[in-house]
Each structure stands twice: as structure tokens, then as C-alpha cells.
Amino acid sequence: MDRGNSLTYETTIMRRVVVSKTSLCAACCIVHVLSLVSVQGALRADERETSTTSVSPRDEREWRIIINWDEENLWFPLLKARGLSEPSGEAARKLLEEIIDEHAAAKVDTVVQVIFGAGFKHLIRSSKGSERFPAELIPRGLEEIGLDFPKILVDRCHHHNMQFIAGLRMNDRHDFTPTQFIREHPEWQLGMGNAMDYAFEPVRGFVLTFVDEVLDEYEVDGLEYDYMRWCHMFKPGEGKENAHLLTEFMRKTRRQLDAAAGRRGCNRLLLGVRVPQSIEECDYLGFDLETWINEGLVDYIVPSDFMHTDTNMKTEDFVKLAEGTNCKIYPAIHNRISMDGPNEHYRLMTLANYRAAAQNFYRFGADGVSPYNYQFAYERRGHAHRSSAYAAYMWPAALGWLRDIRDLEEITSRDRHYLFYSLWKKSHKSPTSFSHNNDIYLDRAKPVLEGSWRFRMAEDFSNPKLRTTMQFKALGLAEDEKLEIQINDKQVPAGYITRVYDKDGQSLYEGDPLDPFHLYVIDMNWETTGRKQPLIFGDNQLTIHLVPSAAKAEGTASIEELECYVYVRK
């Protein structure tokens, strides 16, 4: 498939075909059927300005949805909301099947259920080496009537011709009692919670033994290794030198999957990995994606922040690695916005936010998206004024958002709200050890009071049906200080800037708590003045210059929470 510079092209449409499972596993039930289509009204490359980083998507009309669920949040919020803290086995089975039915109705392609996580514990019926999670992480009553939690999910997914992937969190540090294996070998630990050091062969071997047990016991369609929980497989700074060890571990996993596929009569079982959203971070941590892809070890990659949707992610970096191979790229989408405390449960992504993120991912070549921690879209936790703990909210309607964002026509015909927040603010770093802070800091003690911010919008700004508004919050400005604003080196006309002072700041119910700030709102539609607005497809640059006050204010001013809203005229 050509990923050239044109946005008008022919492509491949994925079709579902129902086939008998007696000869093929469910992973083989989805086949590619060539269907040449012309995208009417698509923007030609020679008709628009592009950034130098732009690449075209493979416009499959509907992208794939690979949803990842942690140990209990697939079912636990609904169980609590319906007062089923002690359900019978049949009630628990019915609930699990209903949940998968709703995923199928929302056109989810693949369900990833974590069965191995914190403390190297598991959720399968039995294991020779590992130990089970506490009983409350498994719907009670199932095993009393001979039912197995993962098998119910596998069977129901296959009933709907959906894939079921067994998820493994590779070094999850949530606070669970570690297994005996961890307790007995402190010399193999990273010294970071329950995390183990994959530089030691017995640690890698422990995981591979569990993988064999899963593949023997369940007809899963593959595995997903979640390296983002919690990023470090080796001691900080030792990732690159130990990358070969993790690559050999991946080769062994591929051999296990191929052997299991042979036993079942399948062409292939899938192996996906969840990794950081930049190649630099992957290299630092020892994730040699180029080798994993070129050797055919992995079938898909999920670039992901630890907790937040990174709308600014350079999707094309991963797409280029997979060029000419069968490896797919599914960027992660998370519910939460910016820092995860103390307001993580109050300010969540909206459907317009999801559309904007999906637009950026798809237009730069992604094959779909992978929702993570999606339970926040339909639950409310028991904090402050919120409803009772884990009450369900918008179930199953929230799954319909996933149906909407897999359709390009649906995305492009609706409003899109881009968020360019700092993912990890100044005093924090991502668990990868990298900073993801785009905020501009203007230190008045320095001679140059200027800063820039890269933000990405995969939009055709020459389209007369689009109307765009930008806003950001400026903290620490004196009342008589001014900001000079440039976008892509073009001065923003003063007449299109609104500045409003918010003396109350921002509460945690509105977003990250902020001190009093000036809200700047910029109308980007300048046709009435004869000017051409400067936004372009791809990477843009916001530059802020602080004009000091006569009173010579001190300290640092900051520019935070950049947003762009694209309104689509009918």
C-alpha cells in the first residue's frame, strides 16, 4: 500500500468473513478483501500546504478498535452498580457475556483482557509457577459451578467473530502482595515496587512458562505484552545495553505462539506490544522495535503514554518502521486529560476530543486505535461530590464513541476539539523517565522572554467549511503586561485576540487546579481582514513573547493548556 503524499488514493477495505472454527482459529476469521475505492472530496497534496512531517493515512474508512482491559475493570464497575457484589455463577456469566455483546454491538474488533499483572500474579484457573490474584478480582460464583472467567470471555468473543487477546502487564507495580517467586529472589528485583529485572534469565523464563500455560489452556488469538506497566524492564539507564535480551525473549514468545498455532491449525497467533509514544523512549528502555518488526516477531504496536492521550504523538515514526511489513500501528487513547491527580476523575476526554486525536493518528498512517482504561468513560469514582463508588455512567452508550471514531466520514463531518496539555507537568516525569511537558515558561530573570510550543493538527485549513478557535491560559501575568503571539512565524492580529482575567483560577472539578490566570482566545478565521490564517496540516508552532510591564514584575509566567476547536459548518 502506498503511503505517499496524496490524500486521494486506492486502498484495502477489511471485511469480516464467518468461517468454521473447526479448522481455523478466530484470529484467522478476519481476512483482507481488496476493494478499490476512491475517497470523494479528499484533499489532493498539490492543493494544500503541508508540514514537512505529514504522511498520508491508509484510508480504510473504518479503522480497527483494539480495547485493553485491566484485571477487573471490564466487569467490576457494572457489578457494583447493579448491586451484585455476591452474584451467583449464572448471574456473573450472564453479565460477562452481556459486556462482550455490547462490545460487538459497538464494532470493537479485539478485546484484550489482562490475565497477568502486578506481583507477577495471574487470573487463569491454575498455574504451576505463578499465584492467583485475590478472589475479588474474579467474578465470584463462577468457579463454584465449573465456569472459568477467561474462557467465558474467549468463547463469547469468538461467538461474535471478535478476537480475544490475553494481556500481560510485564512489570506492573500496583500494590499487590508479590508472588513467592519475587519474595524469594530480592537479587532479581529492580528496587521499584514489585518490578523484576529482565536482565536475569529466570525472570524472563518465569513469564515464558506462564505463556505456555495460557496457550495450552485457552484458545486465545494471541498475546499483548504491556511494557507500559511500568515501563522499566531493566534498571534505569541499562535498557539499550540489555535490549538484545528482550529481543531474544520476544523471539521465544513468537516460537511459542507459532507452535500453538500449529497445534490448532491456525496460520498465526498474534503478538502485540504496548510501548512508549516516542522511538527515543523505546530505545532507552530496551524495546528494539525495528528488530521486532523486521523479524516478524510482532503483529501490532500500541504507542502510548502511561496515562493520557498524546494527541501530539508523531505516529508516522512508528508507521515508517512498519513500512512494507504486516505490522499494524494502533495508538492508544486514554480517558484522562493531563496529570492524573488530584482531578483524574473529573476532567475526562469528550467525544470531540477523541475525534481530534483519531484524526491526528489516522492521517499520519495509523491502522486503528487502542482504548485503555476506558472504564472512566462510564464510571464515576467515590470522591468528593461524586456519586457512590464505581457507579456506572453512560453504559453501554460510552462504547458507542468507539464505533464513531473508527469511521473517517463520521470524524471529518463532526466538530473536533484538540487538547495540547502537558502530559506530565514541570515537577513530574512520565514513568518512562522522560518529560512530556509542552508548557511555555517565561522567566523574567532571563534576557529573552520568549518560548515556543509544537502542536499537531491533521486538518485541511483551506476548507471553507472549517472554523477554528484557539485558546490557552497564561499564569503569572501582571495586568499591564502583554503577550505577542505568533503562529508559524506569522503575527496574530490583535483584533482577533480576546483576553479575559479569571480571578478564581481553576478548581479540580474544572481541570488541573490553577491559580488566577488570563484566558486568551484567538479567532483563527481572518478572511474579513484579507489575511490568510497561518495554520497548516501537520505540525504548527505557537510562539509567545512577553512584553514586560513598566512595574517590572518578577518571577515566571507560564502558558498552559493549549486547545484548538475545529467547528465544521454544514
Note down pLDDT in tens along the chain; length 570 residues.
Answer: 333 332 222 223 232 333 333 334 544 444 332 222 222 223 323 333 334 444 444 444 468 999 999 999 999 888 877 877 677 889 889 999 999 999 999 999 999 999 999 999 999 998 888 899 988 788 878 888 889 999 999 999 999 999 999 999 999 999 888 899 999 999 999 999 889 999 999 999 999 999 999 999 999 999 999 999 999 999 999 999 999 999 999 999 999 999 999 999 999 999 999 999 999 999 999 999 999 999 999 999 999 999 999 999 999 999 999 999 999 999 999 998 876 566 666 678 999 999 999 999 999 999 999 999 998 888 765 444 444 445 667 889 999 999 999 988 899 999 999 999 999 987 788 999 999 999 999 999 999 999 999 999 999 999 999 999 999 999 999 999 999 999 999 999 999 999 999 999 998 778 888 999 999 999 999 887 788 899 999 999 999 999 988 778 899 999 999 999 999 998
Q: Any idea what the CATH number is for the domain that residue 553 is in?
A: 2.60.120
Q: How many CB atoms lie within 10 A of CB 507?
A: 12
Secondary structure in 3-state letters for 103-138: HHHCCCCEEEEEEECHHHEECCCCCCCCEECCHHHC
The C-alpha atoms of residue 374 and residue 360 are separated, in whole angstroms, by: 20
Residues 194 and 307 in one domain: yes
Q: How many domains does the chain have?
A: 2
Residues 415 and 454 in one domain: no
Residues 410 and 456 in one domain: no
- Amino acid 174 reads H
Residues 367 and 508 in one domain: no
Per the structure, the complete domain to which residue 543 belongs is given by 440-568
The C-alpha atoms of residue 16 and residue 162 are separated, in whole angstroms, by: 10
Residues 402 and 476 in one domain: no
The C-alpha atoms of residue 378 and residue 396 are separated, in whole angstroms, by: 8
Residues 253 and 360 in one domain: yes
Residues 409 and 487 in one domain: no
547 φ, ψ to 5°?
A: -95, 110
CA angle at residue 213 from 208 to 219, to 5 degrees?
115
Q: How far is CA 4 from CA 35, 232, 241, 461, in A?
A: 19, 36, 35, 20
Residues 474 and 536 in one domain: yes
Residues 414 and 460 in one domain: no
Residues 518 and 488 in one domain: yes
pTM: 0.90
Residues 36 and 91 in one domain: yes
The C-alpha atoms of residue 343 and residue 554 are separated, in whole angstroms, by: 30
Distance between start and end Cα atoms, the chain: 33
